[in-house]
């Protein structure tokens, strides 16, 4: 166990060290080509110094990378080529340094050939390492559709599972079970139970095998399941012993599942989605677990066009948030507003998510109408006579994220109402009677809130 931990410790330095040889060696080659272009003779000593530093750092990267490969997180077929190409690159780098020390009498063909060879090796080695860590589509997933088609990756997204809301996806049933069925059930099912382990039922899975449970909830390092799938593949205890081994993404999903307690019932919404697992969930399952604005989560049928025309007749400019989102962005187009016009919005209150009453004569008590809009996430009240009494009406809006009070008559007395707004992320208090000190205190006390007041704190 101590040896494995030390190996892992050394291996974790690989991402840090791997960029050093790239920088040194590319710098050396570019400097040499520049001096050749300028016909500088003799060549600068910086060239062979950079080659030496590049070779030395490449050796360090190769050593740490070899140990990182011993952790079992990578497929052997990909690891083999990456490892030995890295060793070859170290050798070429030291040969290059030896030649560049005394370039006199060396043919230009040899020196330039060495430069080109090393650049190609750096590119191929870096590409292989990136694919092992981030997946084969990392470079192309955001490429233009035409380029993806040429590279043969255009339809990969179509094969992703079609999940609904990420928070409701059950981790074991929908993410883990397909992996186990594909990679583990051949040897651990109701009929075949090697090592006394049956993974085909939840109860049997929990019970474990001949040596007891294979899950240590919250601790992947102490879990026999995780240890077996991350052993070096030449180890006789590596699992699965034949067939397709678990990919990097699959191993990271298993690790995260165990870290979060190894539950067989919990959905994603019940556990912590760490920053390291977010790209894996997105890449492998198409699950974007980054927090979404409230208005993106609301599901409503499209609003009748007659109702929209009716609102436009009351002087409002009405826009939907998109073809697939029926929520409305509403702005009053004039300056003189009356309470009856504002009451017209009550007919579509579930649909109003962005509302602008800026530069109108809106009154404090009228905001009691707005307080009934359950999906309101942004309201603009700048350059109005709204005061603390008006903000009191808005304090119960759970999903209000942005509130613009620029140029209004609010004072420090509105701060408790702002603190009660659970979803508030940004409030504009510039050119109001709220003091800078009070605004700073609000921002410090309410986590995740940005207060814009027009002066530096």
The predicted-structure confidence for 102-152, as pLDDT tens digits, reads as follows 888 788 899 899 999 999 999 999 888 877 776 666 666 666 766 666 666
Per-residue pLDDT, averaged over 392-412, amounts to: 95
- Comparison of pLDDT for 150 and 237, the residue scoring more: 237
Contact 65, 86 (CB under 8 A): yes
Q: Determine the pLDDT at residue 252.
A: 94
Asked whether residue 3 carries a pLDDT value surpassing 60, the answer given is no
Is residue 160 scored above 60 in pLDDT?
no
CB 21 within 8 A of CB 54: yes
Is a pLDDT exceeding 70 seen at residue 98? yes
Task: State pTM to two decimals.
Answer: 0.50
**Residue 228 CB coordination number (10 Å):** 18
Return the pLDDT at 164. Answer: 65
Beta bridge partners of 325: 322
DSSP state of 188: B
185 phi, psi to nearest 5 deg: -65, -20
Q: Quick one: average pLDDT of 335-364?
A: 94
Span 177-227, pLDDT tens digits? 999 998 899 889 999 898 999 999 999 999 999 999 999 989 999 999 999
Alpha-carbon distance 457 to 439, whole Å?
9
pLDDT value of position 324: 79
Instruction: State the chain's mean pLDDT as an integer.
Output: 87
pLDDT greater than 50 at residue 326: yes
Span 396-416, average pLDDT: 95
Closest CA to 200 of 210, 188, 209: 188
Q: How far apart are CA 382 and CA 404, in angstroms?
A: 6
The pair of three-digit structure tokens given for residue 186, joined into one six-digit string:
């051949």
Which structure tokens are listed for 166?
């990420």
Nearest CA among 128, 139, 137, 178 for reference residue 156: 137
Q: Is the predicted pLDDT of residue 4 greater than 60, yes or no?
A: no
Strands of the 316-322 sheet, one edge to the other: 316-322, 325-332, 352-356, 378-380, 402-404, 426-428, 450-452
Distance CA 75, CA 69 (A): 9
Residue 259 has pLDDT above 70, yes or no: yes
Alpha helices in 260-338 (DSSP H): 278-285, 294-297, 305-313
Ranking 34-43, 69-78, 365-374 by mean pLDDT, the lowest is 69-78
* pLDDT confidence of residue 171: 94
Residue of 329, 373, 375 lying closest to 355 (CA atoms):
329
Helix and strand numbers (H, E) in the chain are 19, 7
- 274: pLDDT strictly greater than 50: yes
More confident residue, 429 or 241: 429
pLDDT for the residue 157: 43
pLDDT, position 369: 96
Block residue for tokens 């981790």: 171
Give residue 156's pLDDT: 45
């Amino acid at each position: 166990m101590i040896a494995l931990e030390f190996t892992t410790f050394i291996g974790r330095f690989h991402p840090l060290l791997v960029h050093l040889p790239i920088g040194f060696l590319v710098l050396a080659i570019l400097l040499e080509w520049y001096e050749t272009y300028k016909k500088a003779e003799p060549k600068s000593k910086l060239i062979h110094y950079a080659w030496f530093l590049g070779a030395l750092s490449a050796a360090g990267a190769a050593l740490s990378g070899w140990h990182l490969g011993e952790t079992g997180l990578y497929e052997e077929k990909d690891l083999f080529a990456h490892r030995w190409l890295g060793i070859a690159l170290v050798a070429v780098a030291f040969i290059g340094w030896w030649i560049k020390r005394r370039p006199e009498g060396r043919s230009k063909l040899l020196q330039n050939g060495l430069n080109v060879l090393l650049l190609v090796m750096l590119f191929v080695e870096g590409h292989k390492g990136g694919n092992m860590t981030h997946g084969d589509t990392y470079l192309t997933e955001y490429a233009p559709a035409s380029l993806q088609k040429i590279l043969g990756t255009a339809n990969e997204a179509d094969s992703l599972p079609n999940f609904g809301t990420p928070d409701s996806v059950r981790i074991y049933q929908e993410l883990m079970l397909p992996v186990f069925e594909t990679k583990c059930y051949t040897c651990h099912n109701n009929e075949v139970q090697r090592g006394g382990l049956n993974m085909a039922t939840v109860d049997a899975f929990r019970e474990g095998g001949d040596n007891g449970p294979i899950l240590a909830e919250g601790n992947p390092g102490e879990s026999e399941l995780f240890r077996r799938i991350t052993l070096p593949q030449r180890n006789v205890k590596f699992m699965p012993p034949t067939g397709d081994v678990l990919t990097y993404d699959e191993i990271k999903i298993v690790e995260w599942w165990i870290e979060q307690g190894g539950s067989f019932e919990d959905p994603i919404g019940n556990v912590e989605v760490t920053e390291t697992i977010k790209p894996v969930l997105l890449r492998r399952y198409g699950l974007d677990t980054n927090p979404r604005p409230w208005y993106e989560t609301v599901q409503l049928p499209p609003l009748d066009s007659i109702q929209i025309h009716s609102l436009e007749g009351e002087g409002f400019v009405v826009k939907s948030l998109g073809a697939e989102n029926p929520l409305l962005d509403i702005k009053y187009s004039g300056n003189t507003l009356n309470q009856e016009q504002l009451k017209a919005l009550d007919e579509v209150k579930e649909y109003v998510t962005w509302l602008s009453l800026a530069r109108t004569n809106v009154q404090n008590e009228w905001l009691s109408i707005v307080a009934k809009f359950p999906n309101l996430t942004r309201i603009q009240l700048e350059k109005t006579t709204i005061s603390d009494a008006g903000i009191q009406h808005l304090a119960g809006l759970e999903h209000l994220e942005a509130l613009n009070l620029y140029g209004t008559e609010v004072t420090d007395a509105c701060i408790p109402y702002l603190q009660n707004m659970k979803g508030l992320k940004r409030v504009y208090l510039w050119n109001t009677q709220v003091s800078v000190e009070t605004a700073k205190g609000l921002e410090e006390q309410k986590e995740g809130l940005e207060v814009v007041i027009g002066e530096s704190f």
